Structure 1
Amino acid sequence: MNQNLVWFKSSYSSGAEADSCVEVAVAPAAIHIRDSKVADGPQLALAPAAWTKFVAYTGR
């Protein structure tokens, strides 16, 4: 895992279950995604173009 990533949560993660969300870290070659409850667990990495399509799809 890349130790130099800076992780952040969505501003929507402030509800009663704020610890139950995903975190995102942006790197030049990929957008990294992980479970906020398992910071040292598995991560998903998407190419920037795939991330853009995913965000556009979820915003519907």
Structure 2
Amino acid sequence: MTDDLPGARWFKSTRSQPNADCVEIAFGLREAGCVGVRDSKDPSGGTLVFTGEQWDRFLRSGIWRV
């Protein structure tokens, strides 16, 4: 986990409600293909960074749909 991702462009899902709990995602961190994930309500609380392969595996798993 890290909180040092200068220049990251974060975004929330267009399906997110303005005051709802959700996460923000940033692509292309540090090295091309990295993905950052953080809490939208606490953006300075730390960031999880995944490789592109790890992120793809997560999306294919369907866990995020729960």
TM range, normalised to the smaller chain? Answer: 0.7 to 0.9
CA distance in 1, matches of 2:44, 2:11: 15
- The answer for unaligned runs of 5 or more in structure 2 is none
Q: Which fold has the larger relative contact order, with Cα–Cα distance below 8 Å and residues 6 or more apart in sequence?
A: 2
Matched, 1:36 2:37: no
The ranges of structure 1 where at least 4 consecutive aligned residues each deviate by more than 2 angstroms after the TM superposition are none
Matched, 1:11 2:14: yes
- The answer for unaligned runs of 5 or more in structure 1 is none
Aligned pair count reads 58
Letter in 2 for 1:43: T
Letter in 2 for 1:30: C
Identity of aligned residues (%): 33
TM-score (norm 2): 0.75
Greater fraction strand: 1
TM-score (norm 1): 0.82
SS class of match (1:9): coil
Computed over aligned residues only, the root mean square deviation of the Cα atoms, in angstroms, reads 1.8
